[in-house]
Amino acid sequence: MRIVVLTKPVPDPASGQDRLGPDWRVDRAAAPAVLNGNDEYALEAALRLVEAHGGEITLLAMAPPSAPETLRKGLAMGADRAVLVTDPALAGSDIPSTVAVLAAALRDLEADLVLAGIDTSDGFAGVVPAALATTLRLPLLSNAAAIEPDPAAGRVRVRRIVQGGYDVLEAPLPALVSCTQALGAPRYPSLKGIMAARSKEIAVRSLADLGPLPRPVGGAVAETVVVAVDPPPPRGATRTVRAPAAEAAREIAEFLAARRLLP
Amino acid sequence: MVVSSTPPGYELTEEQRLVRDTVRALADDRIAPRAAEIDRTGEFPWDVKALLAEHDLLGLGIPAEYGGVGADLLSVCLAVEQVSRVCATSGLIIAVQELASLPIVLAGTDEQRRRWLPDLAAGRQLVAFALTEPEAGSDAAAVRTRAVRDGDDYVIEGTKRFITHGSIADLVVVFAVTDPEADRHGRMSAFVVERDRPGFRVARLEHKMGIRGSPTAELVFDGVRIPAGNRLGAEGEGFAIAMRTFERSRPAIAAQAVGIAQGALEVATAYARTRRQFGRPIGDFQMVAALLADMDAATEAARQLLYRACTVIERGGPDAARWAAIAKLVAGDAAMRVTTDAVQVLGGYGYVDEYPVERMMRDAKITQLYEGTQQIQRLVVARALLGRE
Ligand SMILES: Cc1cc2nc3c(=O)[nH]c(=O)nc-3n(C[C@H](O)[C@H](O)[C@H](O)COP(=O)(O)OP(=O)(O)OC[C@H]3O[C@@H](n4cnc5c(N)ncnc54)[C@H](O)[C@@H]3O)c2cc1C
């Protein structure tokens, strides 16, 4: 099975740095980049699928030229290769641009299964998987909590999380699955994996390499613009309860009950 | 031989950063929650050992052709540093596996390496390094344990003291006298002794101030018979093998020290932000802020010195022993000072086990003692300076 995992380098949410520049764009120089958290869950799911069914995993990213360092972690976790689409013209791309570029790159990769995280921790739009599936005319199996492919039959089953339970969806391959954290926590790369990643290929593609696209792309034609950003209101005063466990629990319960926050 | 992947330069490579960040995440998630309990119970953390093995951290410095990771010395140190930052006992598991596999890597024949290294690299077996004796501490050449040739065998007789992992290791690298008449540096040879050899026994375990989860054993060799094929290198090369080993193992102890210091600095900094006295965070008081700044400076200075030392040692050359000694000297002192000051920043809370800094202070002390005391490191440096034997 050929699996492509969409992996986006995002500013490290744990860095504590202010990650927005003056134009409200994500300032990618302000904080070190890491693999988007939900994409790591998608990659973990891919690794388990390949362990069970055989196959190979390609990481696909559209990102600044510094991205190979971030992608290397995915290769160390066990992906076989990576494709990085990077081009100065892509800075400031909006969702339609991103989808057009990823779709073009995906056409070349001939995947049986495309996995994506349900959203990214920098953009948070969460529509790229659906838009990409639509563009590529692939079935979309969203919010996956379990993925069960049947490569011989050319089909895949997914448990989709819905309110109060899950749906079981089935679709022919190739298909696109958006992955939730219910699939299971990503592994740490092993040290041998890190050393092996050194010799794995990261193919770098420019816009020109992708060939003609059906629409103009990049920051220059972005249709969505961030107009304003408001910080969340400051947190009110916190109260720390310091008491033996039973006493503390009672105190906290009373506090919540007084505010009608307990059922 | 261990092959360097470190290009000359002053930055960690992409791969080294990935090693550091991976081990840091692993240490924070899986080892840090265990540290206080390991210290309190004084029990060897088999679960942590299994975790380290699972992630190839016990075979870091072992060449890939023998089942190891084949990482450069700096990567080994980055791993020891990140684990020691949360638990010095656990960091020592990596450091000692490296220390005691080094004589096999450096002096073993291809057959010997194939025999022992794959199990060590996979963490299926642990190995200990037995040089110190009751009468041979700093004066390592004064070893009395004898290895007497008997046909195709050697018979080993003697006592080793303070041997880390001595009670749990499957293999023990033992330094013993083969030629009592030879000069100080030609008397000893190195041997690998499997723990199930008759006559080998653990006589006692030490009750220690720090690194309390790390068993430190007295080992008795009571006529232990081993095949001559268990000797590493030629007869009389033992002292030289031990010294070459220290060139690569002292940096790992320096890394343990830097990690302990960094851990203490982080706890103290977080505390100074939140602890309020006289109506404001104690970090607002210049005397506290200066303590933190000095702690950071000492830790960073030791770290950068260590990283530099690793690249010099990796390249090889006559200066390696000096760099190894300087790195351990500076890092050990930094760890002791930084952890002591961390206790100061936390006041009374630093002195009790509600916070980890008192444990870190106890753990830091060992880095000034083992693999050569600070005085012995100075001796090594002074010899290099003054050109004496
Ligand atoms: C927890 C622990 C784990 C250990 N693990 C191991 C291990 O795995 N394998 C192993 O072989 N050993 C191990 N050791 C032994 C350790 O390396 C020795 O304790 C150390 O080398 C010092 O030897 P000593 O204790 O006999 O002290 P001594 O040599 O008796 O030293 C006492 C004091 O005299 C000073 N001194 C001695 N000679 C000189 C000199 N020439 N100039 C100036 N000062 C001098 C020393 O610096 C020290 O301050 C371990 C020790 C401990 C405590």
pLDDT tens, residue by residue, B273-307: 999 999 999 999 999 999 999 999 999 999 999 99
Q: According to CATH, where is 2.40.110.10 located in chain B?
A: 127-234
Contact call for B22 and A69, based on CB within 8 A? no
Contact call for A194 and B60, based on CB within 8 A? no
Label residue A26 by pLDDT band (50, 70, 90).
confident
- Which of A68, A188, A195 minimises the CB distance to B55? A188
Collapse the DSSP code of B73 into the 3-class scheme (helix H, G, I; strand E, B; otherwise coil) and give the result. helix
List residues of A whose CB lies inside 8 A of any B CB. Answer: 68-69, 72-73, 76, 188-192, 194-195, 197-198
CATH class of the structural domain B239-386: mainly alpha
Going from N- to C-terminal start, the domains of chain A cover 2-221
pLDDT tens, residue by residue, B194-217: 999 999 999 999 999 999 999 999
- Tokens standing for residue B61: 């410095």
Q: How far is Cα B345 from Cα B342, in angstroms, rounded to an integer?
A: 5
B315 or A30, which is more confident?
Answer: B315
Q: Is omega for the bond preceding B45 within 30 degrees of 0, making it cis? A: no
DSSP letter, residue B235:
T
Query: Which one of A35, A66, A75, A195 would you mutate to disrupt binding with B, by most B Cβ within 10 Å of its Cβ?
Result: A195
Q: What is the mean pLDDT of residues B338-360?
A: 97
Q: What is the mean pLDDT of residues A168-191?
A: 95
CATH code, residues B14-122: 1.10.540.10
Residue owning the nearest CA to atom 16 of ligand 1: B370
CA distance to A107, B225, B253, B363, B369, per residue, from B77 (Å): 44, 36, 8, 18, 18
Does domain A2-221 fall under CATH 3.40.50.620? My reply is yes
* Helix extents (H) in chain B: 14-26, 32-41, 46-54, 73-84, 88-107, 110-121, 238-274, 286-315, 320-346, 348-351, 357-366, 374-386
Collapse the DSSP code of B227 into the 3-class scheme (helix H, G, I; strand E, B; otherwise coil) and give the result. strand
Label residue B3 by pLDDT band (50, 70, 90).
very low
Q: How far is Cα A31 from Cα B123, in angstroms, rounded to an integer?
A: 36
Q: According to CATH, where is 1.20.140.10 located in chain B?
A: 239-386
pLDDT tens, residue by residue, B65-91: 999 999 999 999 999 999 999 999 999
Label residue B382 by pLDDT band (50, 70, 90).
very high
Q: What is the pLDDT of residue B388?
A: 65
pLDDT tens, residue by residue, B20-34: 999 999 999 999 999
Question: Which homologous superfamily does the CATH classification assign to the domain defined by B127-234?
Answer: Butyryl-CoA Dehydrogenase, subunit A, domain 2 (2.40.110.10)
Who contacts A111 (Cβ-Cβ below 8 Å, separation ≥6)? A2, A3, A4, A58, A174
Share of chain B above pLDDT 90, in %: 95
A50 has a pLDDT exceeding 50: yes
- Token pair 């990481």: residue: A59
Q: How far is the CA of B133 from the centre of ligand 1 (A)?
A: 9
Q: How far is Cα A147 from Cα A114, in angstroms, rounded to an integer?
A: 12
Q: According to CATH, where is 1.10.540.10 located in chain B?
A: 14-122
* ipTM given for this complex: 0.82
Residue B55 C-alpha, separation from nearest chain A C-alpha, in angstroms: 5
From the CA of B132, give the closest atom in ligand 1. 11
Q: How far is the CA of B102 from the centre of ligand 1 (A)?
A: 20
CA distance to A9, A40, A57, per residue, from A13 (Å): 11, 14, 26
pTM for this entry: 0.89
Q: How far is the CA of A179 from the centre of ligand 1 (A)?
A: 56
DSSP letter, residue A90:
G
B66 with B60: CB under 8 angstroms? no
Instruction: Write phi, then psi, for A186 (nearest 5 degrees).
Output: -65, 150
